[in-house]
Amino acid sequence: MMRYLTLCSIEMAKNLVKEFLETLKDIEEVDLFNAVGRTLAEDIISNIDVPPYDRAKMDGYAVKAEDTYEAEEDNPVELKVIGSLKAGELKDLKINSGECVEIATGAVIPKGANAVVMVEYTEKKENGKVKIYRAVPPMENIQFAGSDIMAGELILRKNTPLTPRDIGVLSAIGRKKIKVYKKLKFGIISTGNELTSPEEKLDFGKIYDINSYTLASYIKELGYDFEFFGIAKDDKEDLKEKIKKALKCDIILLSGGTSAGVGDLTETEIKELGGEILVHGIKIKPGKPTIIGKIEEKLIVGLPGYPTSCLTIFDVLFGNEKNVIKARFPQRYISARGRTEYLPVILVKYKDGFSAYPITKGSGAITSLSEADGYIVIDENKEILEDEEVNVHVFGDVKIGLNIIGSHCIGVDIILKEGGLFAKTINVGSLGGLISIKRGEADIAGTHLLDEKTGTYNIPFLERYKVEDAVLVRGYIREQGFIFRKELGFKTIKDILENIYNLEFINRNRGSGTRILFDKFLKDYKLSPSKIKGYTIEAKTHSAVATAIVMKKADIGLGIKTVADQYGLGFIPLADEYYDFLIRKDRFNDEDVQTFIKTLKIVKLPFKKPKDCGEVIWEG
């Protein structure tokens, strides 16, 4: 079958879904206990004033304001107390000139009173009088009837998603039940012979079903319902039976049912069940093979199998279009022209707003899904995105914590865990961290940059790059060296030098301190980078280097001894290095930053700690 000859635009696909959803807006009535997260199907107009009477905003004494005008701290006015009122009490009290009523917050203002003196500025006497030490103007400390909500006022509009705050307002005007739109119900089917349910043993060649649980959770977060119909094998009858069962739902989602072969099977079963294909192929990346069809009055959507692609396309078609945050895209990214690209990003909060960092591991990486706060849309005619403002379509709420951007180190993970801190850690290398501090994006940047001329770590780079409004806190000493499989039998640097051109190397990313150290090693020994096999293959973390060596994707790489020990690999030391922390001055006294520094000082780490660990060693 010739597939994807005509790709539809994403706007056409969104409009198809939008038109279908408009046909499903049935209305039901629910009580307030079950209304949160639902969408209002009516305008809400108050039929009462809130508050319904004039009431005291403070504990004190209800008075005639003019009786207090002469009151001063050293010359108080005395008024006769004719009674008291608590919240909810009804008494027929009326004050005349020279009189007052003791009153509690929320109590009805008695007749004749036009102000309340706070209890802090009074002194009650045993003779039934009270001394007033401060004058009050008319209307002071009184909340008047209808000052919050007036009868006849529109307080909530139709199509408003209801929050706990909205429920409070509805209860304040005496509404017990409200009209809302019925919840959409999604039927979820995962497809693929390779899928296994999470509670089952994972056999070789199988993977656990991720998409069903991700989609179900997001559907609930959007305020909808779902039913899971299981995993369908790549089998015609199995898929058909599960689709037939799911037809009791409003919308059926098939994840992984779009790839070559399986996509044809999905299309065939939709048609055999009397349905039609509306879309097979959308001009987007990722998600090109997405299928949209109908059986009777039920919509069927075939989503990509990769988790990040699956969630992104679902959000594009069914998510909240208004859940968008403006952010600055600080890096350079090259997009493929000809298809609209949906690029997953991590959001970082800084003093002037948000920055969006791209996740480039690919939509098949599980961590792409867990790290992504949302995605940006790159137009099909745009090729380069660089240092510009973008709109980030957010997956739910954005988690805000410390922003740690810079060099990777397992010590940071230990400090965060032991300190009970939440943080977004983005591994862009030491230089990338330094730049992110200058831009005001990172709170903390781990750095280990060796200056070749002085042999000093970090400080020469801070001065060279004119870093301002930041401090450098002493961290710890790491042992850097060559990591390799023990079977290679290397004992000394000389052994490595004799074999280096015959080994498959795994390098670190440009801008990282480890990369700078390796380049210095090559220069010192007059070795040519172009002759190093794998010199251009980069890993972003020490753990990634070790994993590549264990899996025999590479023979050797540069990293820290702690990781070599952790993975059971051989290690030959090259240099001791200072891994320090660059911190923005305006964040230095933040509670989380201080907790990070205190934990750094006391936590047990697999590295040597100098005497000045946790102390400021440079200020810019």
- As averages over each run of 10 residues, the pLDDT of the chain (620 residues) reads 63 91 90 92 91 94 96 95 95 96 96 97 94 96 89 88 92 95 94 89 87 92 92 89 95 75 71 90 84 92 87 88 86 81 84 80 56 86 87 81 88 92 86 91 92 91 94 96 96 95 92 89 94 91 89 94 93 94 94 95 95 96
Task: Give bridge partners of residue 276 from the DSSP assignment.
Answer: 294
DSSP result, 188-202? EEEE-TTEE-TTS--
Cis peptide before 286 (omega within 30 of 0): yes
Q: What structural domains and CATH numbers belong to the chain?
A: 10-22+184-318 (3.40.980.10), 27-50+148-181 (3.90.105.10), 55-143 (2.170.190.11), 324-393 (2.40.340.10), 403-619 (3.40.190.290)
At 573 the pLDDT is 95
- Contact indicator for 153, 145 with CB cutoff of 8 Å: no
Strands 616-619 and 470-484, sheet pairing: antiparallel
Rg of the Cα atoms in the chain: 33
At 367 the pLDDT is 52
Phi-psi region of 515 (alpha: psi -120 to 50; beta: other; left: phi over 0): alpha
Task: State the residue for tokens 């790290």.
Answer: 371
Phi-psi region of 26 (alpha: psi -120 to 50; beta: other; left: phi over 0): beta
At 2 the pLDDT is 42
The predicted-structure confidence for 113-122, as pLDDT tens digits, reads as follows 999 999 999 9
Spatial CB neighbours of 169, under 8 Å, sequence gap ≥ 6:
149, 155, 156
At 110 the pLDDT is 97
At 4 the pLDDT is 46
Cis peptide before 330 (omega within 30 of 0): no
- Nearest CA-CA partner of 284 in 254, 253, 315: 315
- Burial string for 257-272 (b: 16+ CB within 10 Å, else e) reads bbbeebbebbbebbee
At 32 the pLDDT is 96
